[in-house]
Amino acid sequence: MKSSNNLLKGIFIGIGVTLLIAFTAEKTFTLKFSETDINKHYQKLSVIRQIVDNSNLSHQEVVYVTKSIDSLQAEILTQVKAQLETPAPVKK
């Protein structure tokens, strides 16, 4: 009797986890910037990175902020390259 209760609990937990996972979806957003705007934002991130490097923050905080900025700049470059390589749709 006890093992059947454990089995039933396990089934309900498995179904619950499956339902929770099934309803989580990743949303993708596309932001459009002009070339001058994206260059301006990229340069501002570089300036913020330099300010953080020269600040009195602890080493861990500087590393965290620097890695976050580097990650954001890398994502910007990836998105820009992907958009430049993808041909624009042709209107008929």
CA dihedral 56, 60, 62, 63 (to 10 degrees): 160
Domain extents in the chain: 2-85
Backbone angles phi, psi at 88, to 5 degrees: -70, 145
pLDDT for 82 equals: 81
65: its two tokens: 């902020």
The C-alpha angle with vertex 71 and arms to 66 and 72, in degrees rounded to 5, equals 100
pLDDT for 56 equals: 87
- The predicted-structure confidence for 6-40, as pLDDT tens digits, reads as follows 777 777 777 777 766 666 666 666 777 788 888 88
Q: Nearest to residue 49, comparing CAs of 25, 78, 71?
A: 71
Q: Give the Cα separation of 82 and 50 in Å (integer).
A: 28
Place of tokens 């820009």: 80
